Amino acid sequence: MEEQHPARSRPENRNETRQPPGKYYSVQFSIKELAYIYQFKIWNESPHGLCILVNQDSDILKHIAVGDRIEMKYYVSESVGTTEAFKTEIRHITKVESGRFKAHVFVGLLIMEG
């Protein structure tokens, strides 16, 4: 039987108005237990944070949870190659139930500094 990530079965938490990404276009981070650096496009943002789209089968989902705080590097939209690093909290992990992103989850991020 497949083990469910506890946050995957959470109800929809994306109830705020969304808009396209602004200052940052992508985010990069690594997890100690994994040998890779992960980079994700910022999908959209709300007044209270940013959102990335992650394939539901990605190994990264086995190593993050709501409430985790991770140092992340954000790529600035207006300046190619320029990054800013911030401690970031995982705010929600919301499974997409239908539509074109059915095999994905939205991961909500909140920049803690800056």
pLDDT tens column, 72-90: 999 998 878 899 999 999 9
**Position 22 confidence tier, pLDDT thresholds 50, 70, 90:** low
pLDDT (0 to 100) of residue 52: 96
Burial classification of residue 110, based on how many CB atoms lie within 10 Å of its CB (0-12 exposed, 13-18 middle, 19 or more buried): middle
On whether residue 56 sits in a domain, the answer given is yes
Owning domain of residue 106: 6-111
Is the residue at 103 inside a domain? yes
In this structure, of 10-14, 88-92, 105-109, the range with the lowest mean pLDDT score is: 10-14
1 belongs to a structural domain? no
Residue 107 lies in a domain: yes
In a domain, 78, yes or no: yes
- Distance CA(96)–CA(103), nearest Å, equals 7
Look at residue 43 and tell me if it is in a domain.
yes
d(CA 37, CA 26): 13
CATH at 75:
2.40.10.220
What pTM was estimated for this model as a whole?
0.79
Domain total for the chain? 1
Q: What is the mean pLDDT of residues 48-64?
A: 94
